[in-house]
């Protein structure tokens, strides 16, 4: 869907984005992370055609064309990191304004704006002045506006920043919803736990370069956490510990009052059989789960270095 090829942005002698290449397949929900100043906003703005690249190219679907061409802009919905100021504009008028900027007919806009405001849960705010909306509402309005021309690709620059926990959950649900409706989505964010819950793939950027990118599950699995299991035990702890110690291929990492942590490199069948044996030997389990790789530790590990040489 989105092909970024050797994209570079220089400001004088400073390189904000360096030879970035990335492919986001259709239907992906791609999380774009990196520390402040990594070059995420610069990259997104270049893809949208709001910022001229020093070199490199962008292709969206089958449209290569000039970045920022009318054809490309039709494919993209963009939610910027800053909302802007809209004195004396009501929510409904705001949607009308953007719709007419896309060359849509008034009746078409009204119908679609109603549907979209419903989708982002702002139906009851149509007659309210945009500037008086809360931050979370403004962010959702921005998403609705970005969807007006039915773009295939949605680019959101930190849509959850500054939102309270409930508004963040709502934003996450909205994005998941759009993803299930078939939109390809790129979202930049600093909230890693949120990204690891909803994204299908992820890219980590630092100092203008893409350090790693790929399928979320694979990236998390590569982290050591992928093979650690927590077994929570109500009774039969002694039996469990003895059995786990004797079991080939099982490494007992730690034993707590009601829980043991093991590492095991076996298949799902093997680990299930192991749990079965415990139960057969009258060990009562309260819970059992595999530790997920932690995006935060990967992020710290990959972005911990100094300036690039």
Contact 203, 20 (CB under 8 A): no
Stretch that binds Mg ion, among 12-20, 35-43, 176-184, 236-244 (CB under 5 A): 35-43
Residues 6+ apart with CB under 8 A from 102: 74, 148, 149
The residue from 2, 4, 7, 16 that contacts ligand ATP (CB under 6 A) is 16
Residues 6+ apart with CB under 8 A from 287: 230, 231, 232
Supply 11's token pair.
Answer: 């400001």
The residue from 31, 39, 49, 80 that contacts ligand ATP (CB under 6 A) is 39
The residue from 42, 160, 184, 206 that contacts ligand ATP (CB under 6 A) is 42
Closer of 11 and 269 to ligand ATP (Cβ)? 11
Quick check: 36 binds ligand ATP (CB under 6 A)? yes
d(CA 268, CA 256): 24
Supply 204's token pair.
Answer: 């980590």
The closest of 185, 184, 202 to 193, measured between CA atoms, is: 202
Quick check: 38 binds ligand ATP (CB under 6 A)? yes
Quick check: 13 binds ligand ATP (CB under 6 A)? no
d(CA 229, CA 291): 6
Distances (CA, A) of 283 to 137, 197, 240, 305: 51, 32, 6, 46
The residue from 37, 162, 214, 308 that contacts ligand ATP (CB under 6 A) is 37
d(CA 145, CA 126): 13
Place of tokens 């043991």: 260
**Least distance CB 38 / ligand ATP (angstroms):** 4
Quick check: 160 binds Mg ion (CB under 5 A)? no
The residue from 18, 41, 149, 153 that contacts Mg ion (CB under 5 A) is 41
Closer of 65 and 68 to ligand ATP (Cβ)? 68
**Least distance CB 59 / ligand ATP (angstroms):** 21
The residue from 4, 22, 40, 229 that contacts ligand ATP (CB under 6 A) is 40
Stretch that binds Mg ion, among 34-42, 89-97, 102-110, 219-227 (CB under 5 A): 34-42
**Least distance CB 157 / ligand ATP (angstroms):** 7
Tell me the three state secondary structure of residue 19.
strand
The site that binds ligand ATP (CB under 6 A) totals a number of residues, namely 10
Quick check: 201 binds Mg ion (CB under 5 A)? no
Closer of 82 and 127 to ligand ATP (Cβ)? 82
Look at residue 11 and give the partner it binds from ligand ATP, Mg ion, none, a contact being a CB closer than 5 to 8 Å depending on partner kind: ligand ATP
The residue from 1, 4, 20, 41 that contacts ligand ATP (CB under 6 A) is 41
d(CA 158, CA 80): 8
Residues 6+ apart with CB under 8 A from 263: 227, 228, 229, 250, 251, 253
DSSP H or E segment with residue 14: strand 14-24
Closer of 11 and 268 to ligand ATP (Cβ)? 11
- Across the strands, what pairs with 183? none
CA 125 to chain centre: 28
Look at residue 38 and give the partner it binds from Mg ion, ligand ATP, none, a contact being a CB closer than 5 to 8 Å depending on partner kind: ligand ATP
Quick check: 43 binds Mg ion (CB under 5 A)? no
Q: Which residues bind ligand ATP (CB under 6 A)?
A: 11, 16, 34, 36-42
Q: Which residues bind Mg ion (CB under 5 A)?
A: 40-41
């Amino acid at each position: 869907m989105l092909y970024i090829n050797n994209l570079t942005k220089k400001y004088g002698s400073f390189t904000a984005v360096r030879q970035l290449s990335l492919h986001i397949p259709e239907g992906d929900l791609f999380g774009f992370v990196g520390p402040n100043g990594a070059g995420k906003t610069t990259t997104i703005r270049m893809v949208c055609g709001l910022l001229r690249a020093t070199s490199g190219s962008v292709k969206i679907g089958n449209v290569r064309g000039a970045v920022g061409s009318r054809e490309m802009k039709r494919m993209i919905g963009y939610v910027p990191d800053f909302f802007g100021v809209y004195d004396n504009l009501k929510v409904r008028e705001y949607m009308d304004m953007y719709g007419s900027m896309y060359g849509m007919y008034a009746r078409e806009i009204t119908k679609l704006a109603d549907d979209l405001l419903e989708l982002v849960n702002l139906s009851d705010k149509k007659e309210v002045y945009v500037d008086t909306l809360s931050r979370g509402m403004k962010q959702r309005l921005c998403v609705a506006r970005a969807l007006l021309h039915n773009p295939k690709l949605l680019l959101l620059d930190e849509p959850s920043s500054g939102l309270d926990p409930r508004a963040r959950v709502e934003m996450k649900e909205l994005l998941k919803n759009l993803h299930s409706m078939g939109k390809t989505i790129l979202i930049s964010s600093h909230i890693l736990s949120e990204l690891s819950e909803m994204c299908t793939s992820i890219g980590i950027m630092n100092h203008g370069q893409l350090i790693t990118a790929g399928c979320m599950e694979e990236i998390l699995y590569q982290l050591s956490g992928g093979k650690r299991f927590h077994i929570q035990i109500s009774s039969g702890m002694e039996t469990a510990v003895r059995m786990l110690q004797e079991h080939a291929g099982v490494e007992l990492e730690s034993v707590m009052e009601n829980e043991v942590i093991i590492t095991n490199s076996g298949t799902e069948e093997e680990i299930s059989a192991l749990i079965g044996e415990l139960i057969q030997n009258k060990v009562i389990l309260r819970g059992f789960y595999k530790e997920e790789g932690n995006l935060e530790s990967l992020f710290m590990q990959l972005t911990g270095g100094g300036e690039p040489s």
